[in-house]
Amino acid sequence: MNIQNPLKCILLWLMLVIMMILHFNYHVGEIFYGIDIVSENANGVVPSSTHVIRGIFYHLPIIYILLLIMVQAKILRIILLVIAVLYTLSHGMHLFGELSHPDISQISLLSLTLITSALLSFEHYKYWKMN
């Protein structure tokens, strides 16, 4: 099947959101095996940084998808390319950080996430170069 750009970008953004949801789910799922998942110094209040991370990795990609659907401006294409590259760097650092306490499920998921993010950056590059 030959999926055209920007639909490829939209699908890749959706895949990244799903993968980040799975990443969180893997952490929470450890409860079922008796693993304590409570963060150090937890006090019952969700830290502001958690809200920021959720916004960046769950909410903003939905906005990017809406923009891809509604706007065809060349400037948007370059902005989303830069953002996609930043996400790829972030996913790479996250994977690297996870290697310090390896979890096979997380490592495989984060590897797929990094690959998907790199593909997204490549597709955004191609979309930027399109007429």
Instruction: Count other C-beta atoms under 10 Å from residue 124's C-beta.
Output: 28
pLDDT in tens, 50-59: 999 999 999 9
45 and 88 Cβ atoms separated by less than 8 Å = no
26 and 84 Cβ atoms separated by less than 8 Å = no
The backbone torsions φ and ψ at residue 34, rounded to the nearest 5 degrees and listed phi first, read: 80, 15
The residue extents of the domains of the chain are 7-32+49-129
Total-model pTM = 0.90
Q: What is the DSSP letter of 45?
A: S
11 and 3 Cβ atoms separated by less than 8 Å = yes
Please give the Cα distance from 116 to 49 (Å, whole number). 25
pLDDT in tens, 76-98: 999 999 999 999 999 999 999 99
